[in-house]
Each structure stands twice: as structure tokens, then as C-alpha cells.
Chain A
Amino acid sequence: MKRREFIKKSAKTGILVSLSFSLPGFVGKYVHKLESNQTQNYDLVAIKGGEPDKMFDEAIKSLGGMKTFIRKNQTVLIKPNIGWDVSPERAANTNPKLVKRVIEHCYEAGAKKVYVFDHTCDDWKRCYSNSGIEKAVKDAGGEIVPANSENYYHEVEIKNGKKLKKDKVHELVLECDVFINMPILKNHGSTRLTISMKNLMGVVWDRGYWHRTDLHQCIADFSTFRKPDLNIVDAYYVLKSNGPRGVSLSDVVIMKSQIISRDIVAADAAAAKLFGLNPDEIRHISLAHEMGVGTKDLNSLKINRIIL
């Protein structure tokens, strides 16, 4: 009977505590604020000042938790940036701590399986291991998947694409129930910035085609194909120059920030501002806005700004 007693007791205390908390004038304001955060429908959450995993814990709360994105037994694909054979502090790849925490959230929300991959630029095995992401994924119970062979990619039609009409896309993008895009905010030699939309270049086989055929337009075109259910922009370490690979730690600024949103264009617009650039200067953001993929107009959005 001991267990039942314990449950009863704790339930009682729980009720008492919550009653006392709901008493007006007793830190009621704070509790109210927290609750209202959850119920309000934010379009975008920007957070700064904490560790990547802690920031995500807070940020996802104001979008209603991971449960609003993942139902029980769904398969999830997380697409971080693992493009380069460098260590996490060099800010060329998404922060492994963040990857780990997001996977944990997915499983807590009931995900059946969480897959992670990137079509890397450097040798894939070295990228996976030296970015720390392979270990992070394994520690969190996810599965890191290779993307180095054309066999994994299947040709799809991009109906709303202007210049990119078809492309070969990794099978997991086509098959997963939930698609989470997890870029890192970086300077980029030719597109100036690489954020959420540019990160999707790592799910297709032939990137060279994009480069040859109006890069910005292709980036915008592809973002019409399958919009990620959630975009998590890692801006903890930010590569301010010599992107997207970076040369040394001098290129990196520790910004301790994060932006999450369902709207891929809004996420990119906010991240661009965070970086110190006007979103209008990044052609693919404007193109995607015009094509109706999302909005770059941050004033029209409900934004939760959190400073820890």
C-alpha cells in the first residue's frame, strides 16, 4: 500500500501547491505570464544568453513544446549542418549539444525514430565524427544516416520552382513524418549568409546544378518543395567571416543565441538581423518572400524575445 499512499499524498500536496500558486498576489503574475506564453501562438521565438540546450528548452516551451510538432510513433528527420571537417567551436557545423537536446525532446514527445544526416562537403565520415554530431546523435538514441551515395536520392518534381524544376532528394526527406531543419547561422562567401533555406542544400544530390543555375533562385525554389515543420537556427557560435568553412577561431563570435520558427523565411530574416544584415540584402530571402514561402516582414509576426 505504500506506493498508493505516496501517490495520494503527492497528489494532495500537488493540488495544495498549485492552489497556493494560483492565489492572487502570490507570484501570480509570474505564473500567469508563463501559462500565457504557452497558449499564445508565437510565430517566432528568439532567445539568447544561455547554453544551446538550455535555450532550446525555453524556446520550444513558448511554441507549446515538442508535442505540438510530433505525434506518437512518428519518424523524425533532423537536418543539421555537418558540412565540414572542423570542431564545434569553429562554428561551421550545428552545435552538437543542441542536436542532442532536440533529439531528446523528440523522443520525449513520442517519436518512434529520429534520423540525422547531411550531405557533407568534406569527407562525410570525418565530418560526422569531428563535428561531434555523430556522438551526440548516438548518445541521444538517434540514428545517424549516411548521405554519401546517389542511391539514397530520388528524383522529385518541384512544382513551384522557377529555375529548379526537379532534383534528387534524400529518401528520408520524402519518407519522414516530421522534418526538422537545424542550420547554423554563418557568413557565406557567395550567398552572404547561410541559414535555414540554404541548409536544405544538404538534402539534395547535385549541388553543382544549383551553383550553375542561379544559386539564390534555386535556394528559394527548393524551399517550396517540403517546408520543414520546424526551423531551429543555432547562433551560439557564429562564423562572422570566411564562411561557410571558416579558417580559424578568429572568424567566430560567441553570440549565444537561437531562433526557432515554423516559418523558414521568418527564421532566416530574424537570423540575418541578428547577424547584422538587412534580410533584403540576401536575395534568396526576398525571393522566397515574394514566392509566398513565408514572410520576411518581422513586424507582422508575433515574436517572443527571451533574454536569459
Chain B
Amino acid sequence: MDNTSFRKIRIALSFLFFIPTTIILINFSEQIPSSLTKYITYFQFVPSLLKAFSLFTIFSTGFILILLLTTLLGRIYCSTICPLGFFQDVINYISKKIKKRKKRFNYSKEQKLLRWSLLFLCILFFISGIALGINLLDPYSIYGRITGQIFRPIIIELNNFFSAILVNFKIYWLYPYEIKSFNLAPFIISLLFFLLISYMAYKNGRLYCNTICPVGTLLGLISKFSLYKITINKEECLSCGLCERDCKANCIDSESKAVDMSRCVMCFNCISQCPTEGIIYSHKKHSKQKEYKLELIDESKRNFLFLVAGYITALSPIFAQVKKQITIKKNSTVPIFRENAISPPGSISIKRFNSICTACHLCISTCPTQVLQPSFLEYGIKGMLQPRLNNEAGFCNFDCNICSEVCPTGAILPIELERKKLTQLGIAKFIKQNCIVYTQKTECGACSEHCPTKAVHMIPYENNLVIPEVREEYCIGCGACEYACPVKPYKAIYVEGNIYHKLAKKNLEQEKPQIKIDYKKEFPF
């Protein structure tokens, strides 16, 4: 094969990986069936590796393939599969359009100490049961958070804008999507990562990948010894330095004619830049005649300006999402102090969940009720950014186990629907002093209305009224009661998370046979 077509193939393939991954991370109107996500996330290195620890199936073998691929061909993952890599390439492309300088990149020395200590720290943290390091630095998860927290709201607001226009024509096929919760801290953290990585990519290409990214460091170790390598063919090389100028990984030293394979991300830009065949990708040296080619550079800054303008305008409605205030008769008085956050069904225990989840926010984007929201300190510092059930935003749908289906890391293990319906994530606690029936002496019962197991049922109270009571053994902690409770500012019922998920009792009343009646009987009126 012609050496110069490598770059084109790499670009084409990276689109094939990047677009579906982005779609599932945005996925607000369930365009992609959740059963497909496991194929799309299959090749993501860290999730697949983590999944193999807790559940070794055919879907957790992706990391092995990546390791093999790296041994053979080098860090193909970084330029083709990694969505954050693609994202940096986009920024890099924009910077290329804006910057007029021809000498864009220079060879730089490897930041060995930084790279290796970060990788070492991530592994050390992970072994001691803290996923925070890998959670913050895994490129796929960073991209997931940037997409979930920044791109997704923008796309949703665009969707809402167009659906609002269409409604005027009585066209209902596009419908608005209500963002039910805005989490400031996770948003700011994701925004900082977005800005930092964009800046690094704008200034110096794949700086993140070669100084911080633990996956880059690990794969770099392997690619040093890979079968196929980028090498400079000293006989053909004209020492023009074009390859070095276009090397976003800063790993080509054209003076000493050496390529640092541990940092090469296999973008093949150097090969297409080389006027001769001075730089080649092979397991042995070749020599062939090559035509001189130089890419035309578009000097427009418009692309970048559009991006910035679009970003700012699209972001403003997010901040404008302020909840309407309603006047109420009596405010509730007893505040809620939740001791434990509620972890998703299938996570088995909070501790286990915290030690595996990389907070890629795929489940958050997929959750149909939006009950899954990124946390800040609800789990404590080590569970930062990981999803939790936020019953202010929604409740866990009884007949749903989508989060367990999509989770790429196995932090949320696959759970059968019938078992999920009995899995107790937490227990509802009733605060009588806040309840409308107690404070206002009128009917309510919204909590019991929403309860799928009738763990919250209504029992007789004074003046023919009924008041909620929780039968804890039947409660699964879905939070429907808390979500539905209309009292403000503190709810009269809330779910206290279980440290270890338990199994709720099945209500045997629910297995009685149906009552039969006689249809021929006269009407009672």
C-alpha cells in the first residue's frame, strides 16, 4: 500500500469511531437503542479494562485487542479510537487554519517523570479502591463528561429552539427536552478540562496525550517495541524538517533523525508531509520515489470565531434555567440530611461503585428519567463526578435497567429486570411533620400514588383522611415518592441510600388470583 494513504485511512476510521461515540453520549431522545452502546464502547481502553476486572465477558475484551494492536502497529488507539484524541485533532485543525506560522511544532523532550508518576498514581489509587485518578484522567471519560456537560446541553437547546418553532405550525414530531437538573460543580470541572485540553491542543497538539494521559503513557511503553514503526530513512531524508513541523506529538527529532515511538500517536501526518520517502511506516526500511506535495493553508479565522460565538450563545439558556417559584400555604420545616447518596441499581455497593466508575456520564445521558446526575461531594471526594440518583430531577423507572446495559466499565453491572425490581437501593423515610396531610389537614397521597411496589401506602388518619406509611421491607428506594412529594422547601419523604444494596421482599398480596365478576348483573344505579 502507498504509505501516504495511511493518513486518509486513519482520518476515515476515526470518524467511524468518533461519531457513534458522540451520539450515544448526547442521546437525549433515545435515537440509539441502548442495546447497541456496548458495541460502540467496546474498544474504549480504560472502560474495557475495568470491566474485565469485575465481569469478564466477550464485551470486556476490547482492551486486549488494543494491546495487541499497539504491539503490532503502535498507538493506533490514540489517533483513531480515542474520542478525546479526535477532539484534540479538531482543535489542532482549527489552530492550523488560524495560525499562519509554518513552523507549528517542534521536537520536545519527553516529560518522563510527569508521565510515569501520573500513570503510577492512577494505578496505585485504583489498587487501593479509589477510582478518582483514572476517573479524572481517562481520555474517554473526560470526553464523555465534556460531551455530557457541555455539548449535550447545547444540542438540546438547539433541539428545543427548533421544536418551539415547529409547534407554531402544529408539528409535534420534534419535542422539547427538559433539562431537569443543573449541577454546577461537575459542569465547572468539565468546563475546566474542556478549556485546558483545548488550550493545550491549540498551542501544542497532543501535549495532553504525551504528558498527562495515563493511557497514552501505558500504550507508549508498548509502542516503543511495536512491530511496525515510524522511522526516518536516512538515505532518502532531505533534512527539510517538514515532518517535525507537522508532528503534533512533538516526537520527531529531524536533526538527529530519530522518532520517539513512545509518544507517536500514529497520525501519519509526517508521512504525507514528507516530500520524498524519508519517513516511513514499516517493519523494515524501504526506498521509493515520491512526489513533492505541500498542502495549501486556508487563512480564515472564521471557523474558530463561529465556534466561540456558537458556544457562548448556546450556553446562555443553560444559565437561564431557573425554576419557577410557586407560593405555597405552609412551608415544610424539617430539613433532610441524607447520610448516603443512592448509587444506581447493579452497582451492588457504594464502595464498589466508587472504586470502578470512571464517570464517563454515559449512563447519565442515557437515563430516560434523568434521575442519574453527576455528583460532587455526595459520595465524598473519592466518588466525585460519579453518577448518583438525584430524586429532585427524577426517579428510577420501575421497568428499566438501561444504565446497567450501557455502563462500559462494569461499575454498574448488568442486572436482570426482575431482579432490579426487587433491588433495594435505599429506603424511603417519612417525615410526618412536613406532610401536607399533617400540616394542612387535606388529602395528598402523591408519594403513594407513584410508589411502584406500594411500600408507601396510605393508612387512616384523623377526619377520614389518609396519611402515608412506609413498609420498608417492600421499598426499593426508587425515589418516586420523593420526586412526587409536592412539599417545599423540604420534602416529607426521602430516600436514604443503602451502603450495600439489599433485596426487598415481594409483596405476597400481589400474587392473589384476579376476582371474577358476573357481567349479566344489573347496574347498581
The residues of A with any CB-CB pair to B shorter than 8 Å are 46, 48-49, 85-86, 121-123, 125-126, 130, 143, 145-146, 148-152, 171, 188-191, 206-209, 211-216, 240, 242, 244-245, 247-256, 269-270, 273-274, 276, 283, 298, 303, 305, 307
Contact = CB atoms under 8 A, between A and B. Distances in A.
A305 B510 contact: no
Nearest to A251: B510
12 contacts: A85-B398, A145-B172, A150-B324, A190-B446, A216-B442, A245-B449, A247-B454, A252-B514, A253-B517, A254-B517, A298-B525, A303-B525
A30 B397 CA distance: 53
Contact of B514 (A123, A146, A151, A249): A249
B452 interface: yes
B502 interface: no
Contacts of B516: 254
Contacts of A208: 326, 446, 484, 486
Contact of A189 (B457, B487, B524): B457
A273 B523 CA distance: 9
Given A189-B457, A189-B466, A250-B510, A212 B329 contact: yes
Contacts of B524: 273-274, 276
Given A123-B397, A146-B172, A206 B326 contact: yes
Given A190-B466, A252-B514, A126 B397 contact: yes
Interface string B163-191: 01001000010011110000000000000
B458 interface: yes
B242 interface: no
Nearest to A175: B170
A130 B486 contact: no
Given A123-B369, A151-B160, A274-B523, 18 more contacts: A49-B520, A130-B399, A145-B172, A150-B178, A171-B167, A189-B445, A190-B445, A190-B466, A208-B486, A212-B444, A214-B443, A244-B449, A250-B513, A269-B525, A273-B525, A298-B525, A307-B519, A307-B522
Contacts, number: 150
Interface string B432-463: 00001000101111101111111001100000
A247 B172 contact: no
Contacts of B446: 190, 207-208, 211
A254 B513 CA distance: 12
Nearest to B170: A113
Interface string B498-525: 0000000001011111111101101111
A206 to B, nearest CB: 7
Interface residues of B, number: 56
Contacts of A48: 519, 523
A125 B27 CA distance: 14
Given A145-B172, A254-B514, A189 B486 contact: no
A121 B451 CA distance: 11
A188 B449 contact: yes
Given A48-B523, A148-B176, A214-B442, A240 B515 contact: yes
B176 A149 contact: yes
A45 to B, nearest CB: 11
A298 B122 CA distance: 75
Given A188-B449, A189-B457, A189-B458, A212 B486 contact: yes
Contacts of B449: 121, 188-190, 244-245
Contacts of B452: 245, 247
B216 interface: no
B523 A126 contact: no
Contacts of A146: 172, 175-176
B442 A215 contact: yes
Given A189-B448, A206-B326, A248-B511, A148 B368 contact: no
A250 B512 contact: yes
Given A242-B454, A250-B510, A254-B517, A125 B368 contact: yes
Nearest to A283: B443
Contacts of A240: 515
A242 B448 CA distance: 9
Contacts of A145: 172
With most chain B CB atoms within 10 A of its CB, the pick from A213, A251, A253 is A213
Nearest to B327: A209
B448 A85 contact: no
A143 B172 contact: yes
A251 B512 CA distance: 9
B397 A215 contact: no
Contacts of A244: 449
